[in-house]
Amino acid sequence: MDIELLGMNGIEATKIIKTNYPTINILILTIFEEKDKIVHAIQAGASGYVLKNCDPRDLVSQIKKCSYRRLSYLTKRCTYNS
């Protein structure tokens, strides 16, 4: 899920999806590194937060973790900036 979407931002979309389908895992894939966006995304129910410029192997790993219900992952770069 990207944060910037037409008509609705990804954080709001995440809230709606998680309200209606609480067992779905949502991985945020975005360019935004700001702490408030990370916190809001996780509070909305995102299972993880990955930056678009991350190592492709890291992205694959996080998609797998989300699919196996290993929740609330942040890329290393996000944790360094928070």
Residues 51-73 have pLDDT tens digits of 988 888 888 888 888 877 655 55
pTM of the entire predicted model: 0.79
Q: Are 26 and 46 in contact (CB under 8 A)?
A: yes
For the domain covering 10-81, report its CATH number. Answer: 3.40.50.2300
pLDDT of residue 70: 57
Query: What percent of the chain has pLDDT above 90?
Result: 43
pLDDT of residue 36: 93
56 in helix, strand or coil?
A: helix
- For the segment 3-15, the average pLDDT, to the nearest whole number, is 92
Residue boundaries of the structural domains of the chain: 10-81
pLDDT band at 74 (very low <50, low <70, confident <90, very high): low
- Phi and psi torsions of 72, nearest 5°: 55, 55
- For the segment 11-15, the average pLDDT, to the nearest whole number, is 96
